[in-house]
Chain A
Amino acid sequence: MSAIAVEQLSHVYAGAEGGVPALEDITIDVDAGKFVVIVGPSGCGKTSLLMMLAGLRHQTQGTILCAGKPIPEPDPERVGVVFQEASLFPWLTALDNIEFPLALRGTPRDDRRRRAEEMLSLVGLDGFGGRYPHELSGGMKQRVSIARGLVQDPPVLLMDEPFAALDEQTRMTMGHELLRIWSTTRKTVVFITHSLTEAVYLADEVLVMSDRPGRIIDRIEISLPRPRTYEMMATDTFGKLRERIWQQIRKAA
């Protein structure tokens, strides 16, 4: 069974003159444990699609099955979400941020703390649990966000341009770290990005979306071996894959 199955999904935002068509005839099938990256011009509906996968917004047409079941509302046990930039709560420490989803469900304090400590260590932030977000670097904040997304151990992790606000170097490191975390947790990941390099580096499969209304115009299998290394970026294969995605996006825009 696929982890995520989207079938003929379309979405129109209500508005003047029949509304704004944002997504059109999207069909996606993601096998469990796969790392799928979505790229596309801004405003093509990537965030909208992710919201729908998370149960945060309802599509006007089509179906979404997540682990075989529809997702009419957010279900943190099935789907974790990591948002763009710093969506951490600035009034909570790193550890309290990670515990937040568990606190909502009334998990006992000690269990919560233990679980959050585990996550903190998974994302490589041992010893930083007591810091507030403004005391953390951009990369560290996103590590905390990832830990928060994983704290309830959902099989699916959705990530909306999580590293967009980071500088190039931190971004590379974070991509690498994400792959490490992914390989130890074996989640199904849907990852949105603007960066083609990031897309090729991370993905098993890259989905290219067209300009609005967003459609899937290409699916590119990334057959680079795992674990991925920085050296691979310099290879011909990497360059060709990147080039192919670029051509598709150019055509689409």
Chain B
Amino acid sequence: MSQAQIVAFRLALLAAVFAAWQLLPSHGIVDARLLPPLGDVLAMLGELLGRSQVHEAIAVTASEVIVAFVIAVPLGAAIGVLAAENDYFGQIFKPMLFYVFSVPKSIFLPMFILIFGIGFEQKVAYAAFSTIFIVIMSATAAVESVKTDHVLVARSYGATRTQILLRIYVPSMMPVLLETLRISMIFNFTGVMIAEMYASRTGIGHLIANWGENFQMPQLFAGVILLAAVAILFNEVIRHLEVRFSTWRT
């Protein structure tokens, strides 16, 4: 199949899903109370985006996501690099990190509530916690993806430590690092959402949980569309960069 055909099929599939979403409920084939027609949902989304309560929730969620990300990514990357570069540290901590990585982070949520309450700090702490392990793992993999041969070549041409870092490590690791950013944002976003839906007074996750409990389906679906759009957008931007920086990866 040609690329154009594939794209055409994808668009057709998307259009079919949207059409079904519109037509099935509006013709009474599925219960419109459970699945409101797409048009109603989009209208609701427009309305919600005009409400100051929603603006506030978006601001809260966005700042939680950003702060948690800004904490988890550099910290995790530093720990990961240390684990890969420093034998002692690696041997001592790697198994433990792997074990914790395999445990679902949500079971720790009640502890975070006990320690931090249900405010901003708890959301950030929990999201950072649920993100940091994947960052550590990926950063370790990124360092290990640097070829010793390349370092040796650079050394043979008299590269200093800084030059080796900037001209060999950074470009070697770039594709894996971008991938890490992308995937850690998924974990991070999920962390904030779970924390907000579980116990919170504000935030998009809190609104969505409320709409669900109160059976406000148009609002619920509008929230889902909004979050999905933001998540997909971030993912695609990073993926675009990834492709640019990894043409050489074969």
Contacts and interface: CB of A to CB of B under 8 A. Distances in A.
Question: Do A and B associate with each other?
Answer: yes
B156 A89 contact: no
B172 to A, nearest CB: 7
A180 B155 CA distance: 28
A52 B171 CA distance: 28
Given A104-B163, A134-B250, A91 B171 contact: yes
A238 interface: no
Interface in B16-55: none
A235 B216 CA distance: 92
B171 A76 contact: no
Interface of A: 54, 56, 73-76, 81, 83, 87, 89-92, 100-101, 103-105, 132-134, 152
A105 B150 contact: no
A94 B154 CA distance: 16
Interface string B149-181: 110111111110001000110011010000000
Nearest to B246: A91
B250 to A, nearest CB: 5
- Give the interface residue-count category, chain B: 20 to 34
B156 A76 contact: yes
A244 B249 CA distance: 45
Given A56-B152, A87-B149, A91-B172, A101 B247 contact: no
A52 to B, nearest CB: 12
Contacts of B158: 73-76, 101, 104-105
B50 to A, nearest CB: 47
Contacts, number: 55
Contacts of A133: 248
Contacts of A100: 154, 157, 167
Given A90-B249, A91-B171, A54 B163 contact: no
A204 B149 CA distance: 29
Given A90-B249, A132-B247, A132-B248, A104 B157 contact: yes
Given A89-B153, A91-B171, A134-B248, 19 more contacts: A56-B152, A74-B157, A76-B157, A76-B158, A81-B156, A87-B152, A87-B153, A89-B168, A90-B248, A90-B249, A91-B174, A100-B157, A100-B167, A101-B158, A104-B158, A132-B247, A132-B248, A134-B250, A152-B157
Nearest to B149: A87
Contacts of A134: 248, 250
A83 B247 contact: no
Interface in B116-159: 149-150, 152-159
Interface of B: 149-150, 152-159, 163, 167-168, 171-172, 174, 245, 247-250
10 contacts: A74-B158, A75-B158, A81-B156, A83-B152, A91-B171, A91-B245, A101-B157, A103-B167, A132-B248, A134-B248
B248 A74 contact: no
Contacts of B156: 54, 56, 74, 76, 81, 83
Contacts of B167: 100, 103-104
A83 B150 CA distance: 10
Contacts of A152: 157
A133 B172 CA distance: 14
A100 B249 CA distance: 19
A99 to B, nearest CB: 11
Contacts of A132: 247-248
B219 to A, nearest CB: 47
B149 to A, nearest CB: 5
A105 B247 CA distance: 27
A95 B149 CA distance: 19
Contacts of B157: 74, 76, 100-101, 104, 152
Contact of A56 (B150, B155, B174, B250): B155
Which 5 pairs across A and B sit closest by C-beta, in order of nearness? A101-B157, A90-B248, A81-B156, A91-B171, A76-B157
A88 B240 CA distance: 25
Nearest to B245: A91
A54 B156 CA distance: 7
A87 B154 CA distance: 10
Q: Which of A56, A91, A134 has the most CB of B within 10 A?
A: A91
Contacts of A101: 157-158
